[in-house]
Chains A and B, each alone.
Chain A
């Protein structure tokens, strides 16, 4: 029986892995094809079935004057905006979540859970509802078409995720840890920074991963709130589209844009597997 279980387990894991990897393999092979290789029927093996070319890739790095889109600037813009907004969201979100988890707030009928729900509710409404307020808001502040404006908007979008994940995380961290730190002579701030925070790294990594993913893939606000001075990667990639869909350069762009997320996921995964507080209590 255990053998059958092991067999089935590996069988489904391998099946799922193939299912996940197949589109990537397809995109990699397409990115090295030219027009004829893409439209001339299904081919898989380079050199044997089609002659690989770097045309699809070179479009991404050539300036507009040479028929390219030059994604380097937007790429770094995206990295900068996503990382900054995620970092600020994690810092503010962690502080908010800790307070919501450990202290009791009460204003009329509004209690801790209502405040947490208020944060999450920001993500419940469809983004299009927020587009006009955000546009007017940034326009008033003079931050339209700027990195600072985008960061501000992304913080609003990402902080609910951070708060949501971290409240749940802190609720599972026994309050005896904080109490022990107080008894050992810390004030509440020291207890948070010296004891609770070092134990919360796994939770913050998970929250960070989600923030980075949601920040990185956003197209809607990047499209509405920027024009010419600042562009983010998703908006730039869409500019590739023309009357003939350039599958080869779109594939290359897809691979380039998904690469940072894969790298981040690999780094965070190592911590996720041991990422719990099981050792802190019991």
Chain B
């Protein structure tokens, strides 16, 4: 177990090109020992590259990697003592389930009795104990992925367990149980877990800290609450949350007032110092309330659609030819044509050039 530090890391797969394309743009990040992290971002945003840099499968073209105090940038993978689970199950098809799980320990020459104890313990956790003597090749896709996961878990002393969308092929029920198991393992052994996903729900429910990436950059790192309430960029606002954050182009009127078309809104952000013309107001649909009469920060909108999701209703309406979505309690009576919606000033985020101010 160790603290992982990426110091001014950047990576291009062709660094000698005249105009190199960076899969990972320059960044510094540190991962606390025993932390539970999620790396979240759309496909191709550099998550896997970052993981491979930590495990040593990719040597970064710029910057340094540290495990605790020691630099490991050029250290080969097998010496790093790190576990990595890939998106699709990777099993050693010619070996049995037991041999698969024992393999990382055998490679590191652990004593037989310790291997046996650990393999049995991990196989119990993953419900693989009935298949230990079976050939790994004949198992189902999710069982195979459990083996991949198990090989990551048999070593207690790993610097970190890196998981690259490991639960993609696993059915939803087992996915839920496994996520809980991983949390338990993290609590018990204090192993640093880094979990790559593009599913925000998975990230939100699994991790203490979420790192959101986009186009090779870290756009925000923080707790699920931070990411939800104060998205640092419009990308995070759009990417996190379901439905995505409502975002509107607006103009500054005075210190704490903006306008969207003919509607004006008070905000808690000081917008006197903004220079860019690219100003946006963002608000989560969860914070929009339905009112009975117009007041400050409210607007009248034409209802387009009301969807009943069982535990809440989602109103889609339009004002000044832009759409607005509001998530409200399902007991609420919603008028059929026009609705008055309030955008509370404390929940309004203002973005200049797509960055929160």
Q: Which residues of A contact B (CB under 8 A)?
A: 174, 176-177, 179-187, 190, 195, 198-199, 277, 279-282
Known contacts being A182-B77, A185-B78, is A279 close to B90, with CB within 8 Å?
no
Evaluate contact between B137 and A279: CB separation under 8 angstroms. yes
Known contacts being A180-B86, A180-B148, A183-B84, is A277 close to B78, with CB within 8 Å?
no
Ordered nearest first, which 4 A-B pairs have the shortest CB separation? Answer: A279-B137, A185-B107, A184-B104, A198-B94
Whole-angstrom distance from the CB of B152 to the nearest CB of chain A? 8
Residue on A with the closest CB to B103? A184
Whole-angstrom distance from the CB of B138 to the nearest CB of chain A? 7
What string of 1s and 0s marks CB contacts (under 8 Å) between B18-57 and chain A?
0000000000000000000000000000000000000111
Partner of B89, one of A183, A198, A281: A281
Evaluate contact between A180 and B84: CB separation under 8 angstroms. yes
Evaluate contact between B57 and A182: CB separation under 8 angstroms. yes
Evaluate contact between A279 and B84: CB separation under 8 angstroms. no
Partner of A179, one of B77, B88, B93, B151: B77
Beyond the given A182-B76, A183-B57, A279-B138, could you list 16 further A-B residue pairs with CB under 8 A, ordered by the A residue number? A179-B90, A180-B148, A180-B151, A182-B77, A182-B78, A183-B82, A183-B84, A183-B104, A184-B103, A184-B107, A185-B81, A185-B108, A279-B93, A280-B91, A280-B93, A282-B141
B287 at the interface (CB under 8 A from A): no
A182 to B82, CA, bound (A): 10
In the bound complex, residues from chain A placing their C-beta under 8 Å from that of B350 are: none
Evaluate contact between B78 and A199: CB separation under 8 angstroms. no
Known contacts being A182-B78, A187-B78, is A176 close to B93, with CB within 8 Å?
no
Evaluate contact between B138 and A195: CB separation under 8 angstroms. no
A281 to B76, CA, bound (A): 24
B250 at the interface (CB under 8 A from A): no
B-side interface size class: 20 to 34
Evaluate contact between A199 and B86: CB separation under 8 angstroms. no
15 contacts between A and B (CB under 8 A): A182-B56, A183-B77, A183-B83, A183-B84, A184-B107, A185-B78, A185-B104, A185-B107, A279-B91, A279-B93, A280-B90, A280-B92, A281-B88, A281-B90, A282-B169
A279 to B55, CA, bound (A): 25
Interface residues of B in 65-80 (CB under 8 A from A): 76-78
A282 to B140, CA, bound (A): 9
- What's the A-B contact tally at a CB cutoff of 8 Å? 71
Evaluate contact between B107 and A180: CB separation under 8 angstroms. no
In the bound complex, residues from chain B placing their C-beta under 8 Å from that of A198 are: 92, 94
Evaluate contact between B57 and A179: CB separation under 8 angstroms. yes
A151 to B78, CA, bound (A): 40
Whole-angstrom distance from the CB of B55 to the nearest CB of chain A? 6
In the bound complex, residues from chain A placing their C-beta under 8 Å from that of B103 are: 184
Evaluate contact between A174 and B90: CB separation under 8 angstroms. yes
Evaluate contact between B93 and A180: CB separation under 8 angstroms. no
Whole-angstrom distance from the CB of A54 to the nearest CB of chain B? 47
Residue on B with the closest CB to A195? B92
Evaluate contact between A180 and B78: CB separation under 8 angstroms. no
Whole-angstrom distance from the CB of A128 to the nearest CB of chain B? 44
A184 to B82, CA, bound (A): 8
In the bound complex, residues from chain B placing their C-beta under 8 Å from that of A281 are: 88-91
Residue on B with the closest CB to A280? B93
Evaluate contact between A177 and B104: CB separation under 8 angstroms. no
Residue on A with the closest CB to B138? A279
Known contacts being A183-B84, A282-B89, is A199 close to B108, with CB within 8 Å?
no
Evaluate contact between B93 and A277: CB separation under 8 angstroms. yes
In the bound complex, residues from chain B placing their C-beta under 8 Å from that of A180 are: 84, 86, 90, 148, 151
Whole-angstrom distance from the CB of A216 to the nearest CB of chain B? 29
Whole-angstrom distance from the CB of A199 to the nearest CB of chain B? 6
In the bound complex, residues from chain A placing their C-beta under 8 Å from that of B94 are: 198-199
Evaluate contact between A176 and B88: CB separation under 8 angstroms. yes
Residue on A with the closest CB to B91? A280
A181 to B95, CA, bound (A): 13
In the bound complex, residues from chain A placing their C-beta under 8 Å from that of B56 are: 182
In the bound complex, residues from chain B placing their C-beta under 8 Å from that of A183 are: 55, 57, 77-78, 82-84, 104
In the bound complex, residues from chain A placing their C-beta under 8 Å from that of B104 are: 183-185
Residue on A with the closest CB to B139? A279
Whole-angstrom distance from the CB of A238 to the nearest CB of chain B? 44
In the bound complex, residues from chain B placing their C-beta under 8 Å from that of A185 are: 78, 81, 104, 107-108
In the bound complex, residues from chain B placing their C-beta under 8 Å from that of A195 are: 92
Evaluate contact between B93 and A186: CB separation under 8 angstroms. no
A230 to B240, CA, bound (A): 78
Whole-angstrom distance from the CB of A196 to the nearest CB of chain B? 10
A184 to B78, CA, bound (A): 7
A180 to B150, CA, bound (A): 12
Evaluate contact between A186 and B107: CB separation under 8 angstroms. yes
A184 to B138, CA, bound (A): 22
A195 to B95, CA, bound (A): 9
Evaluate contact between B137 and A280: CB separation under 8 angstroms. yes
Whole-angstrom distance from the CB of A142 to the nearest CB of chain B? 44
In the bound complex, residues from chain A placing their C-beta under 8 Å from that of B92 are: 177, 181, 195, 198-199, 280
